[in-house]
Structure 1
Amino acid sequence: MDKLKPFPAVPSDGKIETIPFLKACRSVVKLLETFGPVLMPAVDDIHGNVKKLEKIYMENQTEFKYLNGMLLEEKRKMGCHARIALLWLRRGLELFFVLFSKVVEQHAAGKVLQDLRPLIKQAYEETLEKFHGYRTKQMCMGLMEKFRKYKDFLQIMGANDERSESSVFTILPVYLDGIKCSTEAIYNRMVKKNQVEKHIDDAETEKTLTQRELDKIKVEELQMLQTEEKKASQDQCI
């Protein structure tokens, strides 16, 4: 639990600092990796897209101090790499958020947990499942059967006795709130606004998009942005 880096606070303008955000994501990856292969779908979605965003950040560290800067630059150049990376990064974080939130809820309700497999299955069904193809779903369902027991979860989180367990479940909800604020900001201000999600149904589809299809996405996004800007100008006049 001590190794988890907090997610940066999201101000009213929705700007998310790039480096603190990516460092927080990397700390989530390190934690999830300790659970073994069962959470690899989330690990892959987070880690792979963190690397993509880091690469984009290195192109212009001043301009891309905030994630929003990457998206503004993509609007200008009709690109979509950062937005797609943020889309899949958010999905991976949501699996982590939903799963750990369910564990916190069970603990707060005083329910005795032994087997966490039902919770990981519920979290997967509520987050990543709808974006995966048949083969990926079958692989994920197989991995879930290997999920660790609740006592192993506590040990990984550093809860070796009742006192440390209480401490974990005091800190964890606050940490999860930070993730929720970040993922909601990414969706509402970055992904949903640019309608990236409707174009990408699953990871395999993303990888097999042809250049022609990508160009079509870019044109559609540009047209949508122009419409939004026109509407915003009209609203200001009113």
Structure 2
Amino acid sequence: MKRKRELLEIKGSEIRSAIEELTVLVKLKPNDHINLGSGDAKIPTLPFLSICNLVLQVLDKIGPTMTVLRKDIHQNIQRMEKVLESDPSLYSNVVEMLKKEEAEGNSKLRTSCSRAFVWLTRSLDFTVALLQNLTKDFGQNMEQTVEESYNTTLRSWHGWISSAAYKVALKLVPEKKTFISLLLAKHENYDTLKDEIETLISLLVPFLEEVHSVLGSYRLDRIKCP
């Protein structure tokens, strides 16, 4: 995973790299018409974790506001990587991790891979909402953009402790122009970035719909944190 992250960092913007990872992920899917509620569902682990690592890089650009979320994402990625390394062939499919923990009765423990997968998915939900709001209304300030994205994706799953920490950190977001300039690849302009963001969203949304179907089938979709 370390080598993969290094390669992604030199290829261009995080948005462009995420598009490439999602394209790979779609190609790895064995059947677009599988029953996602069954044990036959497939979510390739490495591409999924690579996309989550790219989300970390995007959140870094928002600054201290996303420190708590960023830390959680990093820990959840590490948790899933550790299980993947224990049996790379078996756990090349995230669903195998979910099946194992469900059979053992520990899928909802705080340190489970199932729980890590839930929160990584929700972090991707937040990222999609953030990018959608970013391109939808350029006149909206960054604080409003982040707050609206948080309210529609993460807020309902956070308890008062997490929500309170977020509200304090919200005051530290950068200006929108600064954030966008940090997302731009070398020699890239805003129109090109916007096109790439829209392409990423068009790939990520249907993928996340499938992931949420899997979470629902394993009864993991209602997990909350303090």
Shorter-chain TM-score bucket reads: 0.7 to 0.9
CA distance in 1, matches of 2:153, 2:50: 23
Q: Which amino acid aligns with 1:201?
A: K
TM-superposition CA deviations, 1:114-151 (whole Å, max 9, x none): 62111111111111112222232122112112211121
TM-score by length of 2: 0.77
CA distance in 2, matches of 1:79, 1:147: 37
Contact kept, 8 Å, 2:61 with 2:179, in 1: the verdict is no
CA distance in 1, matches of 2:68, 2:198: 23
The answer to whether 1:178 aligns with 2:193 is: no
CA distance in 1, matches of 2:42, 2:165: 36
Q: Which residue of 2 aligns with 1:227?
A: none
> Which of these residues, 88, 92, 115, is aligned with residue 141 of structure 2?
115
> Which of these residues, 125, 143, 147, is aligned with residue 94 of structure 1?
125
TM-score by length of 1: 0.74
CA distance in 1, matches of 2:201, 2:68: 19
Q: Which residue of 1 aligns with 2:5?
A: none
CA distance in 1, matches of 2:59, 2:126: 11
- Report SS of the residue matched to 1:140: helix
CA distance in 2, matches of 1:141, 1:160: 33
Q: 1:77: Cα distance to partner?
A: 3.0
Alignment of 1:57-72 (within 5 A): 57-72=84-99
> Which of these residues, 21, 27, 32, is aligned with residue 59 of structure 2?
32
| Gap runs ≥5 in structure 2 | 1-11, 35-40
CA distance in 2, matches of 1:84, 1:28: 18
The answer to whether 1:132 aligns with 2:158 is: yes
TM-superposition CA deviations, 1:32-66 (whole Å, max 9, x none): 11221112343233222111111111111111111
- Report SS of the residue matched to 1:34: helix
Q: 1:20: Cα distance to partner?
A: 1.5
The alignment-based identity, stated in percent, is 19
Q: 1:68: Cα distance to partner?
A: 1.6
Contact kept, 8 Å, 2:98 with 2:218, in 1: the verdict is no
Structure 2 vs 1, CA of residues 168 and 61 (structure 1 numbering), >3 Å: closer, same or farther?
Answer: same
Contact kept, 8 Å, 1:42 with 1:95, in 2: the verdict is no
Moved more, 78-87 or 148-157: 78-87
Q: Which amino acid aligns with 1:183?
A: L
**How large is the Cα RMSD of the aligned pairs?**
2.1
Contact kept, 8 Å, 1:86 with 1:186, in 2: the verdict is no
CA distance in 2, matches of 1:115, 1:38: 15
Corresponding pairs, count: 195
CA distance in 1, matches of 2:136, 2:153: 18
Structure 2 vs 1, CA of residues 176 and 84 (structure 1 numbering), >3 Å: closer, same or farther?
Answer: same
- Report SS of the residue matched to 1:15: coil
Q: Which residue of 1 aligns with 2:218?
A: 194
Q: Which residue of 1 aligns with 2:9?
A: none
Q: Which amino acid aligns with 2:216?
A: K
CA distance in 1, matches of 2:92, 2:130: 30
Larger Rg: 1
CA distance in 1, matches of 2:202, 2:68: 22
Q: Which amino acid aligns with 2:98?
A: L
| Gap runs ≥5 in structure 1 | 107-111, 205-238
The answer to whether 1:142 aligns with 2:153 is: no
The answer to whether 1:2 aligns with 2:2 is: no
